[in-house]
Amino acid sequence: HTRVVRLVGKAGHMPLITKYLLHVQRENVQSVNEAINEIWMKEGNHKGLRASIEEYHDFDLISLAQKLEKDDLLEFRRIAASLYKLAKRYEKSIEISKKDDLWQDAMETTAESKNQKAAEELLEYFVEKGEKECFAALLYTCYDLIRPDLALELAWRNGLVDQVMPFMTQVFRQFHDDLGTINERLRKEDEAKRLAEEEAKALEEQQQQQDAAYVGGYGNPMMAPMALAPPPGTGMGGGMGGGYSGNMQGGGGGYF
């Protein structure tokens, strides 16, 4: 297919094999995709071009975007912006959308970029253009990217308090919920710490009671074996000078 495209392209008769190209495009060959995209551009078929680039991605994306952004047809410039967004060149995509007043495209691209600076610059741009509805819409589209203090200051200075109030209401609600979550976590941590301290204290008291019981039952633990031994000088019989040793010496009485 690449060889066919090259040969027919040199002859300048590419539109004559459009049906053939559409039939083999299912194989997603780069040369075929680029040939079809070129045909749709020359014919001004923006719907066919958009369908082609959305379904078959094997083509030089930046090269096509650079051609489309200079086209006179608005829809082609819009496709160029979407191609730059697909290539993660968000600033270029936003710039094209702003030039053509494609506010929704600009906001969606900004939200996808996750770029705080780009979001706040677009917000200021809407203020300068007097686009109140877009100002309010961007606050929700890029809610996580715009600082509340900046939004409130812009609104206060430019008579957009009504437009900013829903955003600020949501901000205060989120702040309240987040603060409640933090307080609950701290409360649980304090409770767990208190229970751990009480358990440690109970174990310590239990150990002290066990030690006191041991010492009270046997006296000094180191002296306990001596307390069980018979006094010095006493025999097995229990009397002084008696017992087994006396019997051995006197021969009388006897052990038995």
Question: In the predicted model, is pLDDT for residue 231 greater than 60?
Answer: no
Share of the chain above pLDDT 70, in %: 84
* Spatial distance between the Cα atoms of 169 and 230, rounded to a whole number of angstroms: 90
pLDDT grade, residue 217 (50/70/90)? low
Question: In the predicted model, is pLDDT for residue 65 greater than 50?
Answer: yes
More confident residue, 199 or 79: 79
Q: What is the pLDDT of residue 249?
A: 43
Residues 97-125 have a mean pLDDT of 95
Question: In the predicted model, is pLDDT for residue 123 greater than 60?
Answer: yes
* Spatial distance between the Cα atoms of 148 and 173, rounded to a whole number of angstroms: 13
3-state secondary structure (DSSP) of residue 131: coil
More confident residue, 13 or 111: 111
Report pLDDT digits (tens) over 72-85. Answer: 999 999 999 999 99
Question: In the predicted model, is pLDDT for residue 47 greater than 70?
Answer: yes
Residues 55-71 have a mean pLDDT of 91
The model's pTM is 0.68
240, β-bridge pairs:
234
Residues 162-187 have a mean pLDDT of 90
Question: In the predicted model, is pLDDT for residue 6 greater than 90?
Answer: no
Q: Are 25 and 49 in contact (CB under 8 A)?
A: no
Q: What is the pLDDT of residue 94?
A: 96
The rounded mean pLDDT for the chain is 84
Q: Which value, to the nearest 10 degrees, does the dihedral of the CA atoms of residues 206, 208, 214, 216 take?
A: -120
Residues 99-119 have a mean pLDDT of 95
pLDDT grade, residue 232 (50/70/90)? low
In this structure, the chain runs to a length of 256
Question: In the predicted model, is pLDDT for residue 22 greater than 50?
Answer: yes
Q: What is the pLDDT of residue 239?
A: 45
Q: Which residues, in sequence order, are CB contacts of 222 under 8 Å at separation 6+?
A: none
Q: What is the pLDDT of residue 200?
A: 84
- Return the minimum-mean-pLDDT range out of 146-150, 193-197, 221-225: 221-225
Question: In the predicted model, is pLDDT for residue 251 greater than 70?
Answer: no
* Segments in the chain forming alpha helices (H): 2-11, 18-24, 30-43, 46-55, 61-68, 74-86, 90-99, 103-113, 116-129, 132-141, 148-157, 161-218, 224-227, 243-250
